[in-house]
Every structure is written in C-alpha cells, then in structure tokens.
Chain A
Amino acid sequence: MKVITANFVTCAVKECKTSAASFPLHFHDAELEQQELDFQPEFIRNVLPRVDWDSLRITANELGFPSLPETKPEGDALNEEQTLKDLHRLLLETQVIEGKLVCGNCGHQPWMLPPSETPNHVFNAVRGGSKKKEKKRA
C-alpha cells in the first residue's frame, strides 16, 4: 500500500466513521519497500491540496519518517523540484508491504497480506476478511 493511500482510507466499520480516532489508521510493525515510479511533478503539485497534512505527518512518523515540515508546502515551495521529488518518493514510491493497519476507535485490524503470498499487496478492508480462512480450516 502506498503512503498516499493511507491518507484516503479509514476503518470500514460504520460506527467508527463519526469518531475522529478512526482517521488516520495506524501502521503497526510496518515493513517498507521502495518502488520506483515515473516522477510527475504536476501530479504531486495538484494532489497535494487534497492531502490531509496532519494525518500524513502521523503516518510518516509511524513509518519512521519523522522529518516532515509542520505545515504543508504551498506556493513557491511547490516550485522546488527537490520538495516535489521528496513528496513523490514518500507518497507514491514508499510502499507498506507488510504489517497492520489499526483503527484508533475500534482496534480492528484491517488485514494485509504477507508478502510471501503475492507480489501485489492489497489492503483488505472487508470486515472478517480473515474469517474465511478460519472457515476453511474448520
């Protein structure tokens, strides 16, 4: 899962949506991987206004990137190529490939696949996503 995606997902449980504690979800035991992607400076510049910066700082901190500025880069700062490149690297190229995403309200852990099972890691937000496994075992 890309770091940017964490900025746009929350707990799948309905009752949690009204609780401020359900966003952002919190990464636990996250394992990271860099995936090189085409650098689109315009994309970063355009999408950044839609990013919840405070939540991104929380996420980045949990993933071991504690040095994000306190305020979102705006105006001239968005013309600095290095700033855009850094954001590109963090938001799009940094992938969480293993770990848990925990809701601060209900403690539910949307389940993520261990990397050994698949090359493409998808965040599973279906409640009871692991239930099926238990069923099969029974």
Chain B
Amino acid sequence: MADQAEVYEEQNVHEVYQQIAGHFSATRYKPWPIVEKFLQGLTPGSVGLDVGCGNGKNLQVNRDVFIVASDRSENLAKIAVQHQPHSAVVADILHLPHRDAHFDFAVCIAVVHHMSTPARRIEAIAEILRTIRRGSDTQPGGRILIYAWALEQKNSRRGWDKGDSQDLMVPWVRRAKPGSGEEDQTFHRYYHLYESGELERDIEQAGGVVVESGYEKDNWWAIATHKHDS
C-alpha cells in the first residue's frame, strides 16, 4: 500500500514538478506574509530546514540564519541552490537526511498536501518534527511552520469550498510561446485540500503541539513544536 502511494506520488507529483520546474519557478517569487514573518523573527545564527523548498523563494527572506533547503525535485533544488548563504539538496520528506532533534526551526510550505494518503501526511509532519530541537527548562524547543492548501477558498480562482472533494488533480498549463509552433501542455498534480481543523489534527497525530494557526491566501497554516516541551 505504501509502495503504491509512493509510485502514485512519483508519477503525479514528482515527475510533474521535474517537468514544470522552470515555468513554476518563474511564477513563484514572493514569500507569503506569515512565512516572511516567521523567518524574520528567528534569532541570528539559527540553523533550520526548508522542506520542499521549490525554487527557494523563502530563502531570500533572512540571510542571518542558515537554512538547509531540500526538495524532491532535482530541477527545483538546482534553482534553489543559488540563494546565499543557504544550501539546497535533493531529499524525500519521509526520509530527511538530517539528524534527530538538531534544528532550531523548519518550514514546510505547500508540500504535505501532495502526500496521497492520511498516514503519509502525518508521517511527513512527524519526520519534520523529528529533526527539531527538543525544549528544556532553559530553552524552548524548535518550531515548525506548515502550510497546506485549503478546501475553503470560495473566493479564489479555483472556487472550491466546504463539501467539495478533498482529493483532486490540479492542472498546470504551460503555454507555448506564440509563434513557436509548439502546443500548450497541461500537467496534472495531485493535491489533498485541507479542511478547517485538519492540519491541526494531523500535527497532533504526528506528535506535535500547535502553538498558533490560521488561514492565509487560500491556505491553512500552523506553527508547532514538540508535545513534551511546552
């Protein structure tokens, strides 16, 4: 079953991002306000992760911290690697190449909604939590910021809302250059749209505690830490 989901995501998420990386990157340049605020609020010298970094747009926010960014798409990681002083590597969210309980923070923006089963979404969050510093009496634990696409977005271009299907294929159209003789190409990516309260539930099940959460730009977001240090 897990293997099936893996193959499914390979075809319906990873391969698509490999194909659309350049075009996707050209349309993603501005970090979202909550992400910006979270990253700007970090203590200088903090070391953290950007899991599913895409083209690395969130690596532009703070040059006083060090971020090891990763993406499953090699083509996107290669674009992200240019943002100094940070780093980018190719990695799988369920098998992050990082030590336990080591990092001050992690962001995972618009990524877990690409995992195709509830168990894998929870496992992904648990894997990020694993890498974060545990808290102590003198120091709070590391924090993670997670974003996922919302089901409730009736004012968006897509127009989905409560009651609609949560699992769907979302088209990405790559327009051919006018006069190039090529045809437009449409790619489909798998998404699980999060309903109100679902991200918080997944975080709890993954062993985390939600510190703060909300809704921004058609996405649900949550800041979380480990259960045992609040």
Binding site for B on A (CB under 8 A): 1-2, 4-5, 8-14, 17, 23, 37-38, 40, 42-43, 45-50, 92, 110, 118, 120-127, 129
Contact = CB atoms under 8 A, between A and B. Distances in A.
Nearest to B15: A132
Interface of B: 44-47, 63-64, 66, 68, 70, 72, 74, 77-79, 81-82, 84-85, 87-92, 95-100, 102-104
A126 B94 CA distance: 10
A5 B85 contact: no
Nearest to A24: B99
B94 to A, nearest CB: 9
A126 B87 contact: no
Contact of B85 (A37, A118, A121): A37
A40 B63 CA distance: 9
A47 B67 CA distance: 11
A1 B81 CA distance: 9
22 contacts: A1-B87, A8-B68, A8-B87, A8-B103, A10-B99, A12-B91, A12-B96, A17-B99, A38-B84, A38-B85, A40-B63, A40-B85, A42-B44, A42-B64, A47-B47, A50-B47, A50-B66, A120-B78, A120-B81, A122-B81, A125-B89, A125-B97
B85 A92 contact: yes
B47 A8 contact: yes
B97 A5 contact: no
A17 B99 CA distance: 6
A5 B87 CA distance: 7
A36 to B, nearest CB: 11
